[in-house]
Amino acid sequence: MIYSEILYSKKISNNLYEIATFFPQKPQPGQFVSLIIAGEKEIPLSVTDYYEGTLFLHVSPKIYDLIRDRKKILIKGPLGRPLRLTVSSILGIAYKDLLYDILYILREAKRKGINVKVRCIECNTKEFHKADDEKADLIIASVPKDMISSLPKEALVYVRWVKMNCMLGVCGVCEIKENLACIDGPLIKVSKIVD
C-alpha cells in the first residue's frame, strides 16, 4: 500500500473522471488496484494507463466525490492475475463507459506492436481500429453481466459485477464458479463462468 499523491483530476464525460496519481510500481496488463478509504471501504479500480510513475484511473462521480478534496489517496496493488501479451492480435469488446476496464491492456498491446481492434457497443474510440469481425488471437471484454452469454466462450471478461472485499483471495466473497475474481481475475474466461 502506498499513499499516492494526486497529480490531477479531470472530468472526461458525464459518468467518468480521470485521476492521475504517482505510483512507483508499474501494474502489468490485466491487473487492478484498490482505493482504500480509511475506516470506510476498499474499492477495486481498473488501471486505464501507466506511464513513467504515473497511474491513470477512471472513476465514477460517486468515487470522485469521496476523494476530490484529497491531496493523497491510499492505493493497494497491483492486484490480480497479469495477462501475458504474447499474441499477434487482440479484440476488445466493450459496452459504453466500460471500455476503461480494458483500456490499459489494449494500450500496452498496441505499444508492443500487437494488432488491436475494438468493438464498442454504444461507445466510441478513435484510439483503436474498429473491429469488423470477432477474429483475434485474444478476445477481452467488459460488458454488463446480462451480456456475458453473448460473448465468445474463449473470451476473457472483466468480472466487474462481482463484489470484492479483501482483494487477496482470503475472504472468498468474490468467488464465482470456483474462481476468485481478485486473484484469478479480474479477467476470467467466459467458459469458466457461464454454463
**Per-residue model confidence as pLDDT tens digits over 74-105:** 999 999 999 999 999 999 999 988 999 999 99
Amino acid 55: pLDDT: 98
- CATH number of the CATH domain containing 42: 2.40.30.10
The 8 Å CB, 24+ separation contacts for 36-39 are 36/1, 36/73, 36/74, 36/75, 36/76, 37/66, 37/67, 37/74, 38/74
Give yes or no: residues 111 and 188 share one domain: yes
CB atoms within 10 A of CB 165: 14
Q: Would you call 98 exposed, middle or buried from its count of C-beta atoms within 10 A (0-12, 13-18, 19+)?
A: buried
Domain that includes residue 176, residue range: 89-193
Describe the strand order of the beta sheet including 129-130 as a list of residue ranges. 129-130, 115-121, 89-95, 138-142, 156-158, 187-189
Query: Does residue 195 carry a pLDDT above 80?
Result: no
- In this structure, are 106 and 181 located in the same domain? yes
Q: Check if the beta carbon of residue 93 is closer than 8 Å to that of residue 40.
A: no
Q: What is the pLDDT of residues 138-154, one digit of tens each?
A: 999 999 999 999 999 99
Number of compact structural domains in the chain = 2
Both 101 and 49 in one domain: the answer is: no
Q: Give yes or no: residues 152 and 94 share one domain.
A: yes
- Same domain? For 114 and 189 the reply is yes
**pLDDT tier at 53 (50, 70, 90 boundaries)?**
very high
